[in-house]
Amino acid sequence: MKLTQVRIEGLKCPPEKRDVLVFDDEQRGLGVRVTASGSKTFLAQYAFHGQKRRIPLGSCSGVSLAKARDAVRAIMGDVAKGIDPAAERKKAAAEARVKAAHEALTLSALLSDWQALHLASKRPRYASEAVRAVRNAFPRYLDLPAADLDRAIAVKTLDAMARKGSASMAARTAAYGKAAYGWAVKRGAVSVNPFLNLPVAPTRRRERVLFDDELAALWRATDGAGPFNGIMRLLLLTGQRREEVAGMTWTELSNDLSTWTIPANRAKNAATHIVPLSAPAQELLRGVHRFGELVFPGLRGAFNGWSKAKTALDAKSGVTNWRLHDLRRTAATGLQRLGVRLEVTEQVLNHVSGSRAGIVGVYQRHDFASEKRAALEAWGEHALAIINGLRGHGQRNHTDKTGLKIFAPAGAKRTSRIGWPRQIRRSAPGARSCGQHKCCASQGATVKA
């Protein structure tokens, strides 16, 4: 049948069928599908490598007969050239879907998904810092497709940060970006991770350990009330992490204040950590007024005014070029110089690397509770002796402005950084027992004669 507009309007589907096809005698391959419901659509039909193909062209009411014939003529021309129009259309449709998904997943959306679906199980501080760092480094790309952030852009941005003196922040941002895009690649959201193997300059490991007079100056500068002062002093006495001390709650402390249990969801390595509290640390906590769940509350939730408080502390104490984390390194160094075994020091700090890494961490399950308590008791006594500059023989008890008792061990000569009363050695030839410090008695330590 030669199709005309009038004939098309008169076409009907037989009652016993769902649809019927009527082909045009004028243009080979052009057909009209008529359904039982009365709808009529143009289609192109052809054979490619022996298989029948059909391509819908649109409703007969929306496409004119002349345009339908032109479309079929073009399709048949492609078939004659060895092109499969139906396959090409499917390919184009798939590419369009990929493009739409590509444009829909902006960098901002990727980071939000990463935070909600992956970082929810991580430490809150890490999650917020990771997302914040990438957002701050690439603000111009947040509303652009995540896949558009390529390697060249990442390198250029991170290099600019390093030139401005933020090499450490650039390295951390690169690590966060690598983690975010690595997660997205595994989910099939993007195909390339632009942060892989970036030429980021290595950051120098900090080695800052506070001198005796610096410890004393910082202690004196934190003798007033306030959460930051309490945090500072407890950081020094326990060697724990800043966020862990700032987030301490009264429920994490035992009734007698002798033990502090950091829950797994607040510990950096996601493992519950028990911290024995020395006599000076207990005395400090007894002097803290209770104003809610947090031991050291800020204006809204946990204390977070670090930068402003640290700047004020530097000005008041006169100590410069140091970070709060250096107190942790100072405590670790002090424990080692006291003769505390390395594995005990790592237990105190809640490290899972070093002597606790690998197979040792799997099979070694001793909790070192008594050893940790002895070590922290000795560290508390020695640290306060240094802070107060006590010299001479015999132990003397003093009280600072907060009413905190100070237990001063026997007099000592100052060494390069930590002015310990004496340098403790275990099983040293010709050595005698110190007899003054709890860690010496519990670990069988001796002091060099």
So where are the chain's domains? 5-98, 107-186, 212-447
- The encoded tokens of residue 206 equal 């900090």
Phi, psi of 48 (to 5 degrees): -135, 115
Which of 142, 133, 122, 143 is closest to 174 using CA atoms?
133
428 is written with which tokens?
Answer: 């040293």
Q: Which amino acid is at 216?
A: A
What φ, ψ does residue 368 adopt, rounded to 5°?
A: 55, 35
CATH number of the 5-98 domain: 3.30.160.390
The single-letter code of the amino acid at 279 is: A
CA distances from 233 to 27, 246, 293, 296 (A): 91, 12, 20, 12
Q: What is the three-class DSSP state of 269?
A: coil
Tell me which of 98 and 346 has the higher pLDDT: 346
* Residue partners of 42: CB distance under 8 A and separation at least 6: 30, 31, 32, 56, 57, 58, 59, 60, 63, 68, 71
- Span 206-229, mean pLDDT? 89
Q: Are strands 259-262 and 51-59 parallel, antiparallel or unpaired?
A: unpaired
Residue of 414, 382, 379, 413 lying closest to 395 (CA atoms)? 382
Backbone angles phi, psi at 22, to 5 degrees: -125, 125
- Tell me the CATH class for 212-447: mainly alpha
Q: Could you report how far apart the first and last alpha carbons of the chain are, in Å?
A: 117
Residue 268: predicted pLDDT: 81
Mean pLDDT of 33-42: 94
| Strand-pair partners of 42 | 32, 58
Backbone angles phi, psi at 47, to 5 degrees: -115, 135
- What's the pLDDT score for residue 300? 82
Q: Above 90 in pLDDT, residue 265? A: no
Alpha-carbon distance of 134 to 419, in angstroms, equals 43
When pLDDT is cut at 50, 70 and 90, the band that residue 200 belongs to is confident
Of residues 225 and 322, more confidently modeled: 322
Q: In whole numbers, what is the pLDDT of the chain averaged over residues? A: 82
pTM of the model: 0.56
Nearest to 328 by CA among 432, 391, 398, 238: 238
Residue length of the chain: 449
- The predicted structure's pLDDT at residue 400: 45
- Is the pLDDT at 422 greater than 90, yes or no? no
User: What SS3 class is residue 363?
Assistant: helix
CA angle in degrees (0–180, nearest 5) for 282-406-223: 75
358-398 pLDDT, tens digit per residue, is 444 444 547 788 999 999 999 999 888 887 775 332 333 44
Answer for the pair 54, 65: CB distance below 8 angstroms, yes or no.
Answer: no
444: number of Cβ within 10 Å: 11
